[in-house]
Chain A
Amino acid sequence: MSSTSSTPAVALEASGLGKRYGRRAAAALDDCSFRLPAGRISALVGPNGAGKSTLLALAAGLLRPTEGTLTVLGGAPGAFRDRVAFLAQNKPLYPQLTIADTLRMGAELNPGRWDAAYAARIVEEGSLQPGQKIRGLSGGQRTRVALALALGKRPDLMLLDEPLADLDPLARHELMGTLMADAAERGTTVLMSSHIVSELADACDHLLLLGRGRIRLGGGIDDLLAAHTLVTGRGTPADLAPHTVIESRAAGRGLSALIRRDGPVDGGWETEEPSLEELLLAHLRSPDAPALLTPSTTAAPVEVRA
């Protein structure tokens, strides 16, 4: 199975992936299947406890799946540690080290890949001194150092768990810019979880929506937005058949609904393309809506291949 021009390279592919913490606990991931094409900047969203952190840690090779398979850059998770960067949600760093020592550790632990100048620049842009101890940094400053450590190894796949949560708006904007520039320049695949939808809309071109341990929505953001329509008009949800109604509510004298189109929409309805935020909120509010994965995001069947 080699890379051909007709099949886009796959950065991440999950098939029937499941993870359960302890025998009696509910599954954090359950029969989760998807595929993330290489070179995409994908937003991993979902309600709290949906399994986002679990999925990222599994992909980083830090956890063992309970069932199913996960392929990362064409190998088992952890097979290409040198090409994968992982930023955990709590941004762990050694408090007793200085920033300079932390970056030196990045160089020592990633021989042959480490870009010292790049990592140092990310730290300097936050006006941090190399001699400062990690212990004395604020949450946002620690996030910056942790990101420098993740970016400095020049990975092919970046797994970022809420990378922006405790950054100030300016730092968030600047670091997202760095991240996007790096991804655009080097074709890095990024999978980042976040709750900040407005940032995601600017930065990401791909979406994975997790709910109850599975992918509810997956694909290029443009494709997903184009597949849905916001309709308003007089009628009931039943009038919207054969479209799939994701969410509907009364609006003034009529009905406002987000539908997944099946053919053209009847002329009696006012239509509008939803924003990413509207799409996400509708799906988060309706966890029972059927899943939608675009063809490039659908995992290949394990045995049968077309």
Chain B
Amino acid sequence: MTTIAPAPAPVPAAPHRRGALRPSGLVWTLLRLHRTALFVWLGFVAFTAMFLLWLQGPGASATQDRLDALGYTGVQISASSSDMLLGFTSGLYNDLFYDPGTLITLASFGVALFAAGPLTARELESGTAQLVWGQSPSPARWLATKLALPALFVTAGMSLLVLLYRLLWDAHGNLLIAGISPRAFYFSVGPATVAAALSGLALGALVGLTVRRTLPALALAGFGYFLVNAFRTNSWPFQGRYQQPEIHSRSWAVNSAGAEIPDPGCYDNRQCLARHDVAHFAREYLPSSDYWPRQLLETGVLLGLTALAVAAAFLVLRQRSNHV
């Protein structure tokens, strides 16, 4: 066996001046190839963030006024009115509050489908993956970049939304009708929301690399992430078969002197309220000591799943290609 000395490299033309932050190499290639997906993701994050800020500010003012005036009764009255938003969807604060959560769940499904289809299976099906592997970077670096770059955007976007959502809960969780909904919300939104989207990314990529055909990969990844999502609604084995723990709320009234008085139970009787000298009402959910253990355990499980899927994806790639 003889070795050829590397031929002298041709004088490389420098076609693009780049600054320190200009993306290059595989990162540039990926950003360029998945430009539309990136715009869609940024659009989703921007829209949902604005929605959350609106719920934090102007969207909450009417219901907040009723809470101030009538206490929890005011919240109930608000939730039974017939407000409409944009003429087709419920404009009730109690409904709108949960909508960003639905959007976030849909988006993490979107991440899983994107990872299975355009990111991996379509490249293998159309042969463009081989086009990139025929250039200088190895398939392993190709996959690593393909996973790391979307993971960065998913983590940044989801973290921002989760943060805004928690701030919204702290500010206006008291405007929600008590029951299973605020409880389910309280225990589901947190680091695990970000981890769930990341597990979708890893799962999708694994399915895409294994199946290597776009349509079956999309179907399988959708089903796989559906299972993950089904567990997420409080069904992990470690959470037992019971409902989420109770979260406690506290309601009180304040008289004109600023002193805290018990709720006189006037319902919406203004004369009664005036007789008891109620200036305004207040209500809050008390934090649950179960929140962090449950969130962190779930986050750990989801990140573990993500790590397994990533490792399996590299193994599958290794079986298929010869990467050094």
Contacts and interface: CB of A to CB of B under 8 A. Distances in A.
Interface residues of A, number: 66
Interface string A1-22: 1111001111101000000000
A61 B127 contact: no
B28 A97 contact: no
B26 interface: yes
Interface stretch (A72-80, A251-259, A262-270): A72-80
A116 interface: yes
A81 B10 contact: no
A96 B25 contact: no
Interface string A66-96: 0000010111111111111111101011101
A118 B272 CA distance: 89
B4 interface: yes
A73 B319 CA distance: 23
Nearest to B15: A116
Interface stretch (A106-114, A171-179, A232-240, A272-280): A106-114
B3 A76 contact: no
A74 B130 contact: no
A74 B324 contact: no
B142 to A, nearest CB: 9
Contacts of B321: 61-64, 78
Contacts of A166: none
Contact of B136 (A11, A76, A96, A111): A111
Interface string A36-63: 0010000000000000000001101111
A10 B2 contact: yes
Nearest to B23: A108
Given A61-B322, A187-B7, A88 B2 contact: no
A205 interface: no
A63 B322 contact: yes
Q: Indicate the size class of the contact surface on chain B.
A: 35 or more
Given A1-B3, A92-B128, A112 B324 contact: no
A300 interface: yes
A109 B32 contact: no
Contact of B32 (A101, A111, A156, A300): A101
Interface in B94-128: 126-128
A47 B285 CA distance: 76
A107 B2 contact: no
B33 interface: yes
Interface in B300-324: 318-324
Which of B5, B128, B322 has its CB near the most chain A CB atoms (within 10 A)?
A: B322
8 contacts: A7-B2, A57-B130, A60-B134, A73-B4, A82-B136, A92-B127, A92-B130, A105-B29
Interface of A: 1-4, 7-11, 13, 38, 57-58, 60-65, 71, 73-88, 90, 92-94, 96-97, 101, 104-117, 146, 149-150, 153-154, 156, 186-187, 300
Given A1-B3, A74-B2, A78-B321, 18 more contacts: A2-B2, A9-B4, A13-B1, A61-B323, A61-B324, A75-B3, A76-B324, A81-B134, A88-B131, A104-B15, A104-B28, A105-B28, A108-B25, A108-B28, A111-B12, A112-B12, A113-B10, A114-B12
